Structures are given as structure tokens and as C-alpha cells.
Chains A and B, each alone.
Chain A
């Protein structure tokens, strides 16, 4: 079946450095992708999204890149801070009988080293 997965389950980055979290997807029909951040003991929080007609989108300290040719999504976090330590999920939007549904990847744990 279709799935959304992540290349690496854990990532450690020195504070102040940039981090890149990768995600592979297999449903070529997906037209919308979202990155979520989940801190310990909390629900996922929306970070940034991108539609399939774009290849790059920037937010505050975050950039999402989409490569449809290889079905790859990445989240870049610039100048990482201790508060960036969390689990990051990519998610794709699929359609089920016309309704949108989110399918999540398994997550990458990002640890910022002071």
C-alpha cells in the first residue's frame, strides 16, 4: 500500500547548526504535504506545508523542499535552538472518496546538543 516514511529515526545537531530531516513518500498522487513538530507529552503542532506544484517553501527558520521526481521531502531548520528538540513528522494528504485524510510517517527525533 501507499506509505510515508522517514530515512533516519534519530538526529543530533549542535546548537546553532542547521539540521535537515528527510522524508520519502510513495503516493505520487499526493498533492499536499505537511511537517509537524511534537514535543514530549504534547500533541503534534503544524510547522509548514507545501503543495505539489511547488518545490520550495520558507517559513521562519524553516524551509521545506519537495522533489517530486524522487518523491522526497525535507525539512531544513536553520540556526537550531534547544527548543527545536522534538519529534518531527511528515504527512501527506490523500483523498478517500473525495475527503482529505492525513497519513503520517513514523517520525524523526531531533536532539539539539547545547
Chain B
């Protein structure tokens, strides 16, 4: 079955500390991976997708097919990064499959 696992419900770091939000997926083919973010009282929005290979707001994520992982990283966390982060993937025509999310709390 296609599945996305985010093992941490909450990740709390201090401002300026590195951040890594973990994401593992189970799928035998080549999925397209995404990170979505939801700031307080805002709608869910795309943060980045693996095919773009971009850095958005200082975040990067590398697809590791061997480990079936797509961890989200940022070298120096900012308070405005506090939000819910969801890893997701889709395959071809299918809809996005989301993980259960990780709340990132960046303390001053």
C-alpha cells in the first residue's frame, strides 16, 4: 500500500538551530514527493516539490530512493517557520497521499 510516514508529531527547536523533519514513503515505483506547510489560521500550501530541486524559505529536501526518504531540512530555524508540515506524494493520475504531519515549534 502507498503510505507516507512522518514519525515525529512535534519537533521543538530553538531559533538558529538546524531542523530536519523526517519523511519516509512506501511505494515501489517513482513517486513525486512534496512538502506542504500550514501556518496558523492559513490554508495548506505547497512548500516544495522534489522535481524542482529548489530551496524555498531556506528549506531543502532530497529524495533518497534507496532509503525511500524525503526529509526536509533547514540549517537555521526562524520563529516564522513554526507551522504544521506535511509530507505527501502522488503517482501519475492519483491524488496526493499525505503523512500525518509534524508540528515544528521554533522557540526564541
Specify whether A and B are partners.
Answer: no
Interface residues of B (CB under 8 A from A): none
